[in-house]
């Protein structure tokens, strides 16, 4: 372990000031990702700012009816909160599909948004990786790339975002509340993460010195028709090869509002709101869902080892939407066979 400075922040203002004072500092919450990165010699923070004493562990009802989830609320606490289960079951289902009970008890909401890719080469300091060391190259291109991106990749990086929680938050169009040296601002979830482009070392759109305070969820009409489907190599404690967060508002036999977010396929949770809007008024049938899959996967490109992800994603989209339309989400299907 390399030496580093340690600071315990007692207020949000202290944490922001510490980040501004030392650009090489990193925040410590649950530590389920950062500690691993430090052990693997991938991350070398000059300073650790412990934010576990900040008042960010509450799930609050806001005056406008939305729900505010503090950055330090554990994944388990979110998944089992009665308000989340009743009003945002898609989010609860996605969280419970990820990691293990032990990790969900430690991992936090803010940390989930900020976790780094699980690319083999990113975790191997002996391999070139533009995300870890800009300009060094991408070993996954032409290498072992079974788990890598089929959408939104660049010639600099084909890594994928590993979160399940974030896929559901993308489908629910959450808002991320952040604080920085310039004050507080609110970032639409679709604008929080970024594609690799020429700067794959940057995972999100946070400005220097900013930190996540909370995630906000507005009301929705997706409770009767939702499903989170995660396809992976084993049933538990594995990252998604492809995941689908599907949600619909259906009235009079027609789709009023359609949401589909994909995980395991891009550098960020993948959602195309323009494509979704094209299916307003369409019947919630398998034929429609096949068209949705074709539309969402337009431009998908494999890298050799992950070519199978394209047809897999197509089938997963159709299945998840069919489950949502029928009101039989994947988590209920699994329970029925247990």
So what's the pLDDT on residue 280?
Answer: 98
- Please give, one letter per residue, the 3-state secondary structure of 104-172: HHHCEHHHHHHCCCCCCCCCCCCCCECCCCCCCCECCCCCCCCCCCCCCCECCECCCCCCCHHHHHHHC
So what's the pLDDT on residue 334?
Answer: 65
Pairing status of strand 211-217 against strand 175-180: antiparallel
Residues composing the chain: 338
- Determine the Cα–Cα distance for residues 143 and 161; give it in Å rounded to an integer: 19
**Packing angle of the helix pair 286-296, 309-326 (nearest 10 deg):** 140
Q: Tell me how far CA of residue 93 lies from CA of 31, 76, 165, 244, 248, in angstroms.
A: 23, 11, 9, 11, 16
Give me the DSSP letters along 47-103: EEEE-TTSS---EEE-TTS-EEEETTSBHHHHHH-HHHHHH-HHHHHHHHTSS-HHH
* Partner residues linked to 259 by β-bridges: 247
Write down the residue that tokens 């600099």 correspond to: 156
Token representation of residue 53: 């004493």
So what's the pLDDT on residue 336?
Answer: 58
Whether the CB-CB separation of 288 and 279 falls below 8 Å is answered with yes
Task: Kindly list the domain boundaries of the chain, sorted by start residue.
Answer: 5-50, 226-325
222 CA to centre of own chain: 19
- Determine the Cα–Cα distance for residues 317 and 322; give it in Å rounded to an integer: 8
Judged by DSSP in three states, 307 sits in: coil
CATH code reported for the domain at 5-50: 3.30.43.10
Whether the CB-CB separation of 168 and 261 falls below 8 Å is answered with yes
So what's the pLDDT on residue 332?
Answer: 82
Q: What is the DSSP letter of 269?
A: -
So what's the pLDDT on residue 147?
Answer: 98
For every one of its 338 residues, what pLDDT tens digit does the chain have, with 9 covering 90 and above? 789 999 999 999 999 999 999 999 999 999 999 999 999 999 999 999 999 999 999 999 999 999 999 999 999 999 999 999 999 999 999 999 999 999 999 999 999 999 999 999 999 999 999 999 999 999 999 999 999 999 999 999 999 999 999 999 999 999 999 999 999 999 999 999 999 999 999 999 999 999 999 999 999 999 999 999 999 999 888 999 999 999 999 999 999 999 999 999 999 999 999 999 999 999 999 999 999 999 999 999 999 999 999 999 999 999 999 999 999 999 986 665 45
CATH code reported for the domain at 226-325: 3.30.390.50
So what's the pLDDT on residue 338?
Answer: 54
- Please give, one letter per residue, the 3-state secondary structure of 10-52: CCHHHHHHHHHHCCCEEEECCCCCHHHHHHCCCCCCCEEEECC
Among 11, 16, 4, 69, smallest CA distance to 211 is for: 16
């Amino acid at each position: 372990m390399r030496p580093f400075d340690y600071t315990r922040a007692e207020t949000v203002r202290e944490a922001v000031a510490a980040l501004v004072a030392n650009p090489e500092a990193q925040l410590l919450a649950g530590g389920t990702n950062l500690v691993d990165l430090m052990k693997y010699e991938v991350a070398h923070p000059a300073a650790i700012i412990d934010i576990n004493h900040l008042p960010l562990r509450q799930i609050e009802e806001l005056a406008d009816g939305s729900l505010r989830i503090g950055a330090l609320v554990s994944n388990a606490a979110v998944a089992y909160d009665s308000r989340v289960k009743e009003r945002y079951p898609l989010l609860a289902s996605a969280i419970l599909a990820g990691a293990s009970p032990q990790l969900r008890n430690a991992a936090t909401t803010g940390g989930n948004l900020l976790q780094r890719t699980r690319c083999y080469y990113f975790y191997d300091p002996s391999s070139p990786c533009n995300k870890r060391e800009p300009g060094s190259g991408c070993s996954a291109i032409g290498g072992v790339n079974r788990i890598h991106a089929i959408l939104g990749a660049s010639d600099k990086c084909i890594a994928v975002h590993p979160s399940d929680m974030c896929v559901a938050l993308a489908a629910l169009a959450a808002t991320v509340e952040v604080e920085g040296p310039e004050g507080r601002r609110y970032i639409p979830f679709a604008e929080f993460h970024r594609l690799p482009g020429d700067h794959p070392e940057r995972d999100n759109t946070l400005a220097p010195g900013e930190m996540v305070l909370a995630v906000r969820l507005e009301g929705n009409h997706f409770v009767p028709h939702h499903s989170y489907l995660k396809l992976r190599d084993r049933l538990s404690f594995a990252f998604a090869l492809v995941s689908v967060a599907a949600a619909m508002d259906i009235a009079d036999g027609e789709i009023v509002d359609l949401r589909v977010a994909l995980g395991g396929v891009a550098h960020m949770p993948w959602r195309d709101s323009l494509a979704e809007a094209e299916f307003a008024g369409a019947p919630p049938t398998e034929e429609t869902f096949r068209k949705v899959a074709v539309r969402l996967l337009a431009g998908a490109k494999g890298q050799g080892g992950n070519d199978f992800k394209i047809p897999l994603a197509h089938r997963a989209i159709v299945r998840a939407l069919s489950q949502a339309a029928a009101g039989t989400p994947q988590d209920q299907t699994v329970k029925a066979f247990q």
